[in-house]
Amino acid sequence: MTATDFDSERAYDDDRFSAVEVFRSDRMKVVCGYFEPGQFIPVHAPSSDVAICVQSGTGLVRDGDEEHAVEPGDVVVVQAETDRGIRADEDSRLEALLVTAPPPTDSEHEPVRRGLGQNEFDPQNP
């Protein structure tokens, strides 16, 4: 059994969002995500579903062509192969639990790496 909490895993990075992996199997990956104001996971569309549960702070979640404002207690689910991304508001840290099933492949995260390198939330549409 894996058991933890946001306080125990909390890790912020001044340069980019911090993803602390707390569990992984062939079927699922669980991450505590920590975002300084304005930080983001760039838009990408892996072949996995994701459930995002906001623990604290505010931000937005991209789901296809829609953007949803999120706050503590919100749960957003984005289906596989749908453009998705997460961004903290400019005036708020954001902490969220992200559960992906199955875990995305390394190649599916190329748009994430590109977006972070170019500091673009949506590297497909700069």
Residue type, 48: S
Radius of gyration for the chain, computed over Cα atoms and rounded to the nearest angstrom: 13
| pLDDT tens digits for range 16-66 | 999 999 999 999 999 999 999 999 999 999 999 999 999 999 999 999 999
Residue 78's closest CA among 95, 93, 97, 61? 61
Domains of the chain: 6-107 (2.60.120.10)
Average pLDDT, rounded, for the chain: 95
